[in-house]
Structures are given as C-alpha cells and as structure tokens.
Amino acid sequence: MLTLLEQLDKGTLWHSPGGIHPPGLKTTSNTQSIKRLPLAKEFIIPIPQVGDLATLTVKLNDHVLKGQMLTNGKGFTYLPVHAPTSGKIKAIEKRSSNHASGLPVLCCVIEPDGEETWTPLQADQASLLSNDAIINKIKDAGIAGMGGAAFPSHIKLNPASDINLVIINGVECEPFITSDDRLMREHANEIIDGVKIIHQLLKPQRIVIAIEDNKPQAVASMQKSIETLTLDDCKIRVTVIPTKYPSGGEKQLIQIITGNEVPSGAIPAQLGIVVHNVGTAYAIQDAVTNGKPLIERVVTLTGEQIGQPGNYWIPIGTPIKHALQHTAFQAQTQQKMIIGGPMMGYAIGELQVPILKGTNCILAPSNNEIGPDLPEQACIRCGECAVACPALLLPQQLFWHAKSEEFEKAASYHLQDCIECGCCSYVCPSDIPLVEYYRIAKSALKNVAHEKKQAEQAKLRFEARLKRLDDEKQAREAKSKAAADKRKQSMSSNDKDAVALAMARIAAKKKASAAEPGTESSTTANKKASVNAAIERAKAKKAAKAAQTDGPSVVIPSANTDTAVTDNTDVDPKKARVAAAVARAKAKKAAQANPQPEANLVSQSQISSVTATDSENTATPVIADSAEYAVVDPKKARIAAAVARAKAKKAAQANSPSSAQSTAEAVQIKTKQETTTETTDPLSSAVADNTQISEKTVIADSVDNAIVDPKKARIAAAVAKAKAKKLAQSQPKSHQPANQEVVSNDAVDNARVDTVQELSSSQPAIGTNEAPAMAELDDKKARIAAAVAKAKAKKLAQQQQKD
C-alpha cells in the first residue's frame, strides 16, 4: 500500500463531499493583463487595532513616505499598517468600514503628494537570513492571508508542530474572481521564490501547488517555473484538481489532496499541513527579498456594469468609488455592489470605503447576472441544503434554531464548522438566505462567549480582592498580637497586678450597673440600720455629757400658722435618756415592721444633732429633716453645705461674740443672695388638706450670738450632701413640691414640741389614703420624738452645767 507521500507524488486525489457547480464567468476579467489605476485623491487606511494592540506613530498634518509604518504595537496577532503612498496626514477619524455592517472604524486619511517617494527599504537574500529574521520581516511587512481571510501569515509560518506538507492554494473556485489566475500567469517566478522562503522556514517533505483545471495557462506557467527548482529533501509539484465549488476552501482542499479530514475545532497544522495562497507567497517574496511592505494587491473588477473589467494593482486604502470611476462603471437601478465573489462575498451600501488586504474582487453585476433578492418562503424540508453542504452539516436544523434565536442549540449542531460558502443558499428552492442567519447566530454566540469570559475575569478579580482583604486582615491581627505579646513581655509584675485590679474594678462596675436601680439587698439595709442606731446612741451619750452654751437654729416644718409656742419646761436628765431610748426602740421597730426604700430611710446622720440656745439659753427642739418630711431642693442643699462649711471655718477663727456676729451676718447675706426657690413642707401640705401652699421668704438663720461647734458644722454639711444625693436618686419628679419654704428661727423659738406632735399625729388623716403613706407617718412620729428627746436632754445638761 502506498504511503500518503507516494500518493501525493503520483497526484492521487480524493473526493470531497457536497459542493456545487455554478457558472464560472471568469472570462470577463482574465483575458487582459494586470493594470494599474491612477492615484486616488485620498487614501483611507483603517487602523482598528489602535488602542488595543497598537499605537499610532503619526499625527495630523504629518508628512509620510510610501511604505512608512503608521502604527506600532506588540501582540501575537498584531499587524502593522503602512502608508500606500507619500503625502500628508489629512485626518485621523472614524470612517465607514468595508464590511457588511458598514460600522465606522478609526482611519488615517492620507492626501497624496503625487511623488510616490519610498521610505528606505531593506533588501535581503533570504538564504542568508535566519528563520527568526525572516519571520520578523514578514510580520513587519504586515502580510496577511491574501485569499480573503486575512489571517496573519507570520503565525502560520511559525507553527508549534512539525510540518510535512505545504499546499499553495491557486484553486480560486469562486465565480467571477481571476486575480490569482492572472498573478500565476504573470508572476510565477516570484511566487516560486516565495515558496522557497516558506520551505526554508517550515522544512516540509512535500509542497503541492493546487490549481483548478479551468486555469490551464496558470498551470502551465507554474509548471514551467518549478522545472529547474531544486529543494533540499523536498519534492514540489503542481496538482490539478477538478473544478467544483468550494474546492478552494482550506479544509476542503486538504481533503481533496490528502484524503484526510480536519477534525472539528482543529487546525491543519495539527495534521502537519499548512496552506498558503499564491498571493501570500508573492507578498512574502516581495517583503523578504525587496523589503517592501504589503501596500497593494491585485483586485478583480468585474461585472456587466463595469465598462473595463479586469485585474488591477490597487493600493491598500484606495476608495472603491475611485476604482469604479476609472473602470467605466455604470450604475443601474437598485445596483448591487459586492465585495468578493457572488457566493461568499457581501454587499456594501456605500462606495467611499477602502480596499483592504483581503479584498480580492469588486463585483458590480447586472440584473441578468445576479437577479434581485426574492422574498423568503417557508422551508419545504427538501434536504437539498444538506446534500450540498461541504462540511456535512444539517443546514435546515441550523436555520430553525438560528431563526428562533436558540443559539446554544444551533451551536450543538456544529455551527462553528460552517465555512459560509453559500452552497445551501444557492440550492434552496425557498430562497432562504441561510448564510445570513448563520452569520447572525455566530455573532451572537461570539458575544455570549465574550460576556462569559468577562464574567469569569470579573469573578477572578473579585476572588483575588477577597483574598487580598483577608490577607490584610490576618496581617493586621498578627501585627496586633505581636505588639500585645511584646508589651506583655516588657510589663513588670507590678504593672500586671495593676492591670488585673483595674480589670476587676471594671468588671465589678459593669455588674453593679447591670443591676436594677433603686434596689438594695437585705444585708445592706440591716447594716445601715445598725449604723444608724449606733450613731443615735453616740449622739445621745454625747448630748448628756456635752456642755454647749449656744447652738444654731434649725428649720422645722411649717404648720401654716404664724403662732409658735416656746417650751421652757425643765427636763429631768433621767427621763430624757429614757425618752431617747424609747424613741430609738420605736424607730427600730418601725423600720423592721415597714422597711423603706433606701431613698426614704431616715439616717441619724441626716438629723440635725443639736440646736443652739439663744442669748437666754433657751433650748429649741431639733426636728429630723429627713426625706419623708421635707423635700430638699438640690440647689438649697448645696447652699446649706456651703453655709455650714463657712460656719465651721469662721468658728475656728472666732474667739469673741463679735466675730460670731460677723459670721452670722455673712451667712445671712449669702443665704439671701443664693436662695431663690421655695420648698414645700409635707406637714404644711397635710394640715392644709393638700391645698394651696403659702410662699414665704427665705430668711437666713440669725446667729448673732451663736458659737458654732466645728465638728457639728461638718456633720451638718455631710447631712446636706446626703440629702441632695438621695433626693436626686429617689424622689420622682411628680412628687416634687411646687413651693418650698424655710421658717425663721423666731418661729422655731416659739414653737412647742406638742404642737409638732399634734401636727404629726394629724398628718395621716390629711394625707393620702394609701397604706404605705400611713406607715411612713408612723415612722416619722418616732423619729420626731427621738429628736425632741435629744434636744431636751441637751438643754438639761446645759442648765446643769450653768448651775
């Protein structure tokens, strides 16, 4: 059995599926040699890669030379763009593109100067250059596939795998197009020189020049050029294949020459095969040998509406309108203008678009050659499209899914393997433009793939951001921990103990603040009661022993009357002590039977211990000024504390009645200046049936002849502070009196204790009817009695001391 290479040497051909046999119509343009057209008034050079892969190397109004590079960039698929002639940069703007969509693309517009001045060219001998140098020259020349796809040639010439076969495509199966035919006839030697450069780069074992049997002159010209050609370890031959469309397709031609089918999604290089167009081979030779970039190509202008059909060397960027004007174009009604052949070409709606590197034909057919588009009809499922498909696809299935915009289902039927040859549309009896549906579906799938790629990239960026934030967080935590460990290591034992104690205090404070305000444990209440009893006993004992000549006056609850009774009765010391003991017992019993909140407990430290006698040594009873009997204004409490401190200070300094008198006057002035509000006495409210409370002027206690005990003054100050603090904590705003009053010492000196007791006894009937209020009044009576007893005891002791 012969090997593939041996079969290639014999010229064995294989059959390719599908295909059609449309009329060639090539004689219209291939009978004359290639010509040139006059220079256009302007050249439009598309630069779509600028911004993505390239940068523009010129600016507006710059003068450029023929062949000068206009862009510079990097990238695998980047191709530079060159000036097709010398002249000035007229504009850099968006112009309509040479595409079926006609969308604008960035272009560099050159106004030629007519001198055709070349940029300096670097001519080389290919055999003396390295492969990398040759590939770089091909890339710098901007050479792309000249068969219509315009794929960068330097990529094909630098494959990743070994190449065994190189096919030079001269089939040119599309009707009307004859540019390759004329190029092979007139420039066969240059094409073969390009083939030799390709051989130098790829080192294949076989080179096959494939030409259709409808081009006998081209076959003869190419056959003559290779007769004297000798290539190392390689055989080259011209193979003539039958005329059938689309035999010139890359995959179809490989199947015809080798019998191997390129798998779906694969490229020919994976099979060890590379295919190049004859026009590409010519451009490679011109770039490597002569140093010329790809700035012109052979274009077929044909169709019955063109008066001078033929093939022309046309610079890249020449407006199509200029080419038609110089070939006697006559437009008809509803004139079609097709770029490419009638099978795979596309129609354009504007003539002021440039010729590109892949533009091989401009077709201006008459209605006799290509009739107007017929209305689309329903598919009759004849299956002719499937028979004609060279890729063995199911065009009707692709059509249904593409029309229904079910692009994913269309992709499942291998839509990407469609070469858009147009065979299905050509044979369709319903005149359905199937290829147009496939192109739309391919574009939609491309957009979906692009969006999916962007979403994946966005996801990667988001995950990278989360990882970065997490790393930063861990770094901060590690840094903080390291700093804390360092501080802990450098901390002494005393510092550690201080920190521990501080933390313990903070924890205790938080625990105490979490408890309900106003509550107090039974242990704390019992302890306070014991303390109060001890203070009471100490004060009673001291009153019995102490000898005081004078004492300060105190404020007692007003009974809403101006009369006062003075108690001048002599008191037996023994009876006074008994009365004091009885009063303490009653107070203790009342406190146990009816426990009060902390804010309402009467502390003995809150009772004004002793009242000073006047100049006649008359004793005045001391009334306990507790939270139950008088609601103390916090401001007045602070004033009282300040007055007491002043008394204590001046008493320590004064040794004569005159100094005491000056102290009393100062206190009286300070009290009149600072006291502005009034205090409502609960006893007065009770006597008046909780009606209107009289407002009285705040009169400072006269201490003209008083000698103040410093210790008692400090006690009075402490009592005042305690009153203010407990009042602010416990007294509800709704229970605060509207008016307050302070009674002068003149009224106190004339008040009798019996009157106070009567008022106290009558208070429950006048007050509220609630049980807690009754209990409070009983407790008040007990404390009043205790205070009266102490006052009497002190008075008796003073009298005995005088005697």
Burial 508-536 (b: 16+ CB within 10 A, else e): eeeeeeeeeeeeeeeeebeeebeebbebb
Q: Are 263 and 234 contacting, i.e. CB atoms less than 8 angstroms apart?
A: no
3-state secondary structure of 66: strand
Backbone angles phi, psi at 92, to 5 degrees: -130, 100
Backbone angles phi, psi at 536, to 5 degrees: -65, -40
Q: Which two tokens stand for residue 475?
A: 């770094």
173 is in an annotated binding site: no
107 is in an annotated binding site: no
423 is in an annotated binding site: no
421 is in an annotated binding site: yes
| Angle at alpha carbon of residue 671, lines to 666 and 676, rounded to 5° | 155
Bridge partners (DSSP) listed for residue 231 = 234
Q: Which two tokens stand for residue 236?
A: 């080259």
3-state secondary structure of 152: strand
418 is in an annotated binding site: yes
- CA gyration radius, the chain: 59
Strand 87-96 vs strand 104-112: parallel, antiparallel, or unpaired? antiparallel
Q: Tell which residue, 799, 608, 581, 772, has the closest CA to residue 701.
A: 608
The count of other CB atoms within 10 Å of the CB of residue 282 is 25
What is the H or E stretch that residue 327 is in?
Answer: none
108 is in an annotated binding site: no
Q: Tell which residue, 329, 314, 294, has the closest CA to residue 34.
A: 314
234 is in an annotated binding site: no
Task: Give CA separation, 181 vs 184, 279, 337, 615, 642, in Å.
Answer: 5, 10, 22, 148, 123
382 is in an annotated binding site: yes
The C-alpha atoms of residue 176 and residue 183 are separated, in whole angstroms, by: 15
Q: How does DSSP assign 385-430, residue by residue?
A: HHHH-TT---HHHHHHHHHTT-HHHHHHTTGGG-----HHHHH-TT
The DSSP output letter for 43 is E
Q: Which two tokens stand for residue 257?
A: 């020459």
3-state secondary structure of 539: helix
Q: Which two tokens stand for residue 288?
A: 């490597």
Bridge partners (DSSP) listed for residue 94 = 106
Residues in CB range of 273: below 8 A, 6 or more apart: 163, 164, 165, 166, 167, 254, 258, 260
Question: Binding site for [4Fe-4S] cluster: which residues?
Answer: 379, 382, 385, 389, 418, 421, 424, 428
Question: Binding site: which residues?
Answer: 379, 382, 385, 389, 418, 421, 424, 428
